[in-house]
A = this chain, B = another copy of it.
Amino acid sequence: MTNSTGHGGAGTDLGFPAVWLRDNCPCHECRDQVNGQKLFRITDLPGELAVANVRETADTVTVTFSPDSHLAVFSRVWLAAQGSICKGDGRTERDKQLWRAADLKDALPVTRWTSYLSDDTERLRTLHEVAGRGFAIVQSTPTREHTVLEVARTFGYVRETNYGELFDVRVEMAPSNLAFTGLAIGPHTDNPYRDPVPTMQLLHCLSNAVEGGESGFVDGFMAAAVLRDENPAAFDLLRRTPVPFVWSDAHTVLRAERPLIETDPTGQVRCVRFNNRSMQALQLPGADLIAFYEAYRAFARLIE
């Protein structure tokens, strides 16, 4: 048995301060036992919380708080799982498997539509590839229109936009978008002018009447990581400079101003925007413009 006293939120020998322990109390007064949500506001807790007493058994640690004698019973297993590092939400470079083309030479993330549909393990493996590598290829999907929506619905929800639920890429005579032309388009991220940007995109080739038309993939997170290694000043500049992106037609104007490399507060890459087509005139003092373009071109060379 251990007795310990917290002093105005100071650490106990459990290694956690009183306010953290109390905010995570699992009792039925503090937390809905069905949905796990907390039942109190943070301001409902006493201002001068302290640990008055700690009692331990083989499986549990019971904490009594002052000033209100509230009791929290923590499982040892849960407490032991609490470390000093945030687990993350899987969306930054830390939780991805960054790649260069050579890394995927014999390990392209590929599946077939029929096995993806019928085999849970195969579907799970494919979705892990999407989360970790940023993409996967589903072969032999039916070349029926709207099949792409069917694929999307196997793992998520389709976000309707001004383009509708899907965006038909086709060659047009008076194209409102370069996607509707036969022009080769270099590596880019789509819809940087949209906020939020697309979480994920699905491309489905229904028919190709011409030579070419291949799609290529580049790992933008890897390019950002390499830029940080080779040219940290350029990385930092692209991270700190909001860039305006715009798209418009007769009915819609979309505008977002975000950096090319977006990092989380700990500096981890979380998002890359790269699309010269819709990037607008940057508004910065002249010397800053020169530095930005040097960094932008260095990043572009890595990507291309």
Give me 6 A-to-B residue pairs in the complex whose CB atoms sit less than 8 angstroms apart, sorted by A's number: A35-B175, A35-B177, A38-B276, A43-B304, A82-B281, A239-B265
Complex interface: chain B residues within 8 A of A276 (CB): 23, 38, 40-42
Given A248-B36, A283-B84, A265 and B241 contact (CB-CB distance below 8 Å): yes
- How far is B98's CA from A142's CA once the two chains are assembled, in angstroms? 52
Measured in the bound complex, the distance between the Cα atoms of B84 and A289 in whole Å is: 10
Could you tell me if A256 and B36 are in contact, using CB atoms closer than 8 angstroms?
no
CB of A281 to closest CB in B, whole Å: 5
Check A300–B84 contact: CB distance below 8 A. Answer: no
Q: Is A195 an interface residue (CB 8 A)?
A: yes
Instruction: Indicate whether A55 reaches chain B with its CB closer than 8 angstroms.
Output: no
Q: What number of copies of this chain does the assembly contain?
A: 2
In the complex, what residues of B have CB within 8 A of residue A266's CB? Answer: 240, 242
Given known A89-B244, A266-B242, A293-B19, contact A178–B43 (CB-CB < 8 A): no
Q: Mark A195-210, 1 if CB is under 8 A from B, else 0.
A: 1100100000000000
User: What mask results when residues 251 to 288 of chain A are scored 1 for a CB within 8 Å of chain B, else 0?
Assistant: 00001111100001110000000001111011111110
Measured between beta carbons, the chain B residues less than 8 angstroms from A23 are 276, 279, 281, 293
Using a CB–CB cutoff of 8 Å, the interface residues on chain A facing chain B are: 9-11, 15-17, 19-20, 23-24, 32, 34-43, 45, 47, 82-91, 157-162, 174-178, 183, 186, 195-196, 199, 239-242, 244, 246-249, 255-259, 264-266, 276-279, 281-287, 289-290, 293-294, 296-297, 300-301, 304
Nearest chain B residue, comparing its CB with the CB of A40: B276
Given contacts A178-B32, A264-B242, contact A89 B256 (CB under 8 A): yes
The CA of A201 and the CA of B98, in the complex, are separated in Å by 35
* List of 6 A-B pairs having minimum Cβ-Cβ separation, nearest first: A196-B196, A89-B257, A11-B286, A37-B277, A19-B293, A157-B160
**How far apart are the CA atoms of A302 and B45 in the complex, in Å?**
15
Considering the chains assembled together, what is the distance between the CA atoms of A174 and B40 in angstroms? 18
Residue of B nearest to A49 (CB): B293
Q: Is A304 in contact with B178, judged by CB distance below 8 angstroms?
A: no
A240 to B264, CA, bound (A): 8
Closest chain B residue to A186, Cβ basis: B41
Closest chain B CB from A207 CB (angstroms)? 24
User: Nearest Cβ distance between residue A25 and chain B, in whole angstroms?
Assistant: 11
Residues of B within 8 A of A86 (CB): 242, 244, 257, 282-284
Q: Give min CB distance, A248 to chain B, whole Å.
A: 7
CA distance A45 to B20 in the complex (A): 55
> Which of B84, B244, B285 is close to A284, meaning CB atoms less than 8 Å apart?
B84
Q: Known: A178-B39, A265-B240. Is A158-B157 also a contact (CB below 8 A)?
A: no
Q: Is the CB of A42 within 8 A of B300?
A: yes
For A38, what are the chain B residues with a Cβ–Cβ distance below 8 Å?
276-279
